[in-house]
Amino acid sequence: MKEPISSISTPSGQRILIRAGAIMDGCAHAHIPGCLLVRCSKRPGGIELIVEAVAAHIEPGSDMHIVDMPGDLLMPALVNAHCHLDLTSVGPQPRPSQFHDWLATVRRLRPQEPAQIRASVQQGIELSLAGGVVAVGDIAGSTRSGPSLVPWRTLRDSPLEGVSFLEFFSIGKGSQQRLDGLERVLEEAGCDRSMLGLQPHAPYSVNLAGYARAIELARRYKLPLATHLAESIEERSFIVRGTGPQRVLLQTLGLWDYQELTHIGLGKHPIVHLSGALAQARWLIAHANDCPDEALDPLAETGARVVYCPRAHDYFGFERTLGAHRYRDMLEWGICVCLGTDSIVNLPPESARAPGGRISVFDEARVLYRRDRTDPTLLVRMMTTNGAEALGLERSRYTFAPGCAIAGVVAVRTESDNPIRSAFEGDSPPRLVLGPSVRDASSASSALNSLGRGDPEADSGSTYSAF
Ligand SMILES: [Zn+2]
């Protein structure tokens, strides 16, 4: 577990009382207005934030720093369960006419050299923190020379929690050599593989033998598993009938092998096609945009977690080809659904622009609130505890339950007497007010320090007007 703050001038035992316009998490009723009392406890290497109380009113004590934020909604720090931080340098791109054209664009623009990859992931980490995100399910994309551990190492050196899923391709000609190469890269990772995961890219780029090997390697090296699944209509054509643009792409690349037709083109929906692999591990499934009734059962029965990326769904026009995403049906079926952003390539241009640039699941939740009027508590759950569960993190770090050590606190400025509605309908950025620092990841001076009111100990009892 990473420290939420690795250095702060706040002495051990410091208590901070934040009086906000509203406070909510994904588990309990919101307080409007609300008070959050947090204690900072020193631990080796940093300071831990422990929730002491959450209530409509908390009587101020003489030992408390009081922070008044009457115009803000407070939430736990956010989890982005599916992103591609190594594509941050590519930046937002115009929407393609075809999904496979977009795949070709990504292949062409993806950074290839370690220094470029590191810089791109670092930029993505900063944009994530700028959007209140402190944990990610990041996909470490495969370069032309094979899987790369650079995104994983960059993520491990950052203040973020989560998993870097090492992505690989394995279909058609040369697939066996690619799997052998993947195993060598996993060996290269060394003994401490914390925060490392494994990601067969998708059923149209990894055959069933590749999924079986991924499961075997994940067991051997104790790695969590993720995959893209049921994302597009082109994927369905390929898996159900063995035809369409994905097959043409493999033929163009000289990879197509007719042997693949022993398991592809058998009339099975992509989720049913993978159900045997899904039954052997707890998978994190990116997308599941294409989800007829027959596909809900395998997802629910195998305990798969689904990451929904609403803005990517809109960007590709999947509603037109596949219908509305069934996230609410999935939740009703007991499937853990969380939120992701996918890559910055499919986000709006302002995501990469300063000031205000960010990669945040809060902007994904806003899409669902505005379009579907989804319950805000459910939305907060999808971008906190459900994301944490999907990534194997401690759910308690993403709630405001008393006694819990938390990963951070996010605030969103509101403008009306209905602060929750205002936060979700407005455009104010989610700001990390307690948690890892964007500016100095190594010493991680916290956003709280940026209040700039001097030594908190000397200032004990003072009232801060705003973060
Ligand atoms: Zn993705």
Give me ligand 1 centre to Cα 300, in Å.
Answer: 21
Q: What is the rounded CA–CA span in Å between residue 202 and residue 11?
A: 49
Return the bridge partners of 163, or none.
Answer: 137
Give me ligand 1 centre to Cα 452, in Å.
Answer: 39
The domain defined by 78-374 carries CATH number 3.20.20.140: yes
Confidence of residue 146 (pLDDT cuts 50, 70, 90): very high
Give me ligand 1 centre to Cα 427, in Å.
Answer: 25
What is the residue whose two structure tokens read 């709630």?
399
DSSP 283-328: EEEEE--S--HHHHHHHHHTT-EEEE-HHHHHHTTHHHHH-S--HH
Q: What CATH superfamily is the domain 14-75+400-464? A: Urease, subunit C, domain 1 (2.30.40.10)
Higher pLDDT, 438 or 291: 291
Query: What's the confidence (pLDDT) of residue 1?
Result: 53
- For CA atoms 7, 9, 13, 16, the dihedral sign is negative
Q: Which two tokens stand for residue 286?
A: 């990116």
Give me ligand 1 centre to Cα 139, in Å.
Answer: 7
Task: Indicate the DSSP class of residue 423.
Answer: H
pLDDT digits (tens, 9 = 90+) for 360-413: 999 999 999 999 999 999 999 999 999 999 999 999 999 999 999 999 999 999
| Residue of 447, 452, 460 lying closest to 411 (CA atoms) | 447
Q: Are 39 and 13 in contact (CB under 8 A)?
A: yes
Quick one: how many helices (H) and strands (E) in the chain?
Answer: 17, 16
Give me ligand 1 centre to Cα 68, in Å.
Answer: 39
Domain definitions of the chain by residue range:
14-75+400-464, 78-374
Angle between the 99-109 and 233-241 helix axes, to the nearest 10 degrees? 100
* Cβ neighbours, 10 Å, residue 94: 10
Query: What's the confidence (pLDDT) of residue 458?
Result: 31
Cβ-based burial of 245 (10 A; exposed 0-12, middle 13-18, buried ≥19): buried
Query: What's the confidence (pLDDT) of residue 457?
Result: 33
| Residue of 98, 14, 22 lying closest to 54 (CA atoms) | 22
Q: What is the rounded CA–CA span in Å between residue 188 and residue 203?
A: 26
Give me ligand 1 centre to Cα 415, in Å.
Answer: 34
Return the bridge partners of 226, or none.
Answer: 284
pLDDT digits (tens, 9 = 90+) for 86-134: 999 999 998 878 877 887 888 889 999 999 999 999 999 999 999 999 9
The residues near 329 (Cβ < 8 Å, ≥ 6 apart) are 291, 296
CA gyration radius, the chain: 22
Return the bridge partners of 305, or none.
Answer: 284
Give me ligand 1 centre to Cα 193, in Å.
Answer: 22
pLDDT digits (tens, 9 = 90+) for 201-235: 999 999 999 999 999 999 999 999 999 999 999 99
Task: Indicate the DSSP class of residue 144.
Answer: T
Phi and psi at 151, nearest 5°, equal -60, -40
pLDDT at 72 exceeding the cut of 70: yes
Query: What's the confidence (pLDDT) of residue 438?
Result: 34
Give me ligand 1 centre to Cα 147, in Å.
Answer: 15
pLDDT digits (tens, 9 = 90+) for 324-353: 999 999 999 999 999 999 999 999 999 988
Angle between the 245-252 and 99-109 helix axes, to the nearest 10 degrees? 30
Give me ligand 1 centre to Cα 342, in Å.
Answer: 5
Give me ligand 1 centre to Cα 307, in Å.
Answer: 10
Give me ligand 1 centre to Cα 294, in Å.
Answer: 23
Q: What is the rounded CA–CA span in Å between residue 283 and residue 296?
A: 14
Give me ligand 1 centre to Cα 84, in Å.
Answer: 6
Give me ligand 1 centre to Cα 286, in Å.
Answer: 7
pLDDT at 454 exceeding the cut of 90: no
Q: What is the rounded CA–CA span in Å between residue 302 and residue 421?
A: 36
Question: What is the β-pairing status of strands 283-287 and 78-83?
Answer: unpaired
Give me ligand 1 centre to Cα 424, in Å.
Answer: 25
What is the overall mean pLDDT for the chain? 89
Q: What is the rounded CA–CA span in Å between residue 453 and residue 403?
A: 28
Return the bridge partners of 464, or none.
Answer: 67
Query: What's the confidence (pLDDT) of residue 238?
Result: 96
Give me ligand 1 centre to Cα 62, in Å.
Answer: 50
Q: What is the rounded CA–CA span in Å between residue 150 and residue 119?
A: 10
Q: Are 246 and 238 in contact (CB under 8 A)?
A: yes
Q: Are 341 and 312 in contact (CB under 8 A)?
A: yes
